[in-house]
Every structure is written in C-alpha cells, then in structure tokens.
Amino acid sequence: MKNEIISSNHSPRREDKEDLEEEMSRSALATLRANEEEIQMREMEVRLDKISSIQHYNTKFGLGLL
C-alpha cells in the first residue's frame, strides 16, 4: 500500500510522457488534416460557384458556354 502512495506522487514515467506526446502529436496532425480538407472543399465550392455564375451569365446573354 505504501508503495502505491509513493508511486502515485512521482511524476509520470518517461514512457507515459512519450505516449502522451505521441497522442497529442497525432491529434494535432488529425486536426490539421481535417482543417486542410475543409479549406480545399471550400475552395472547390467557390470555384464551382464562379463557373456556375459565368455559365449563367453566358447563357443569359447568349454568349455560349465556357
């Protein structure tokens, strides 16, 4: 029992710290990738909106397709 109390008062083991750092790195990388994917999707939406607007304008004024 005394050993349990003493061990719980010590700082985390080096392996535990490394595991925590690795998990934090993976989490940060996953967040970064998700943000990048969201940005790419938004950029594609903007491009598609521009194309749609141009096609609408061209059709409205009889200018043909792109």
Domain count, the chain: 1
Residue 16 in any domain: the answer is yes
Residue 1 in any domain: the answer is no
Residue 30 in any domain: the answer is yes
Angle at 33 between CA 47 and CA 42, to 5 degrees: 20
- pLDDT tens profile 31-49: 999 999 999 999 999 999 9
Return the percent helix, strand and coil in the chain, to nearest 5: 85, 0, 15
Q: Which amino acid is at 63?
A: L
Residue 66 in any domain: the answer is no
Residue 5 in any domain: the answer is no
Give the structural domain span for 55: 10-60
- pLDDT tens profile 47-62: 999 999 998 988 888 8
Residue 52 in any domain: the answer is yes
Contact yes or no for 53/38 (Cβ under 8 A):
no
- Predicted TM-score (pTM) of this structure: 0.62
Task: Output phi, psi for 12, to 5 deg.
Answer: -60, 150
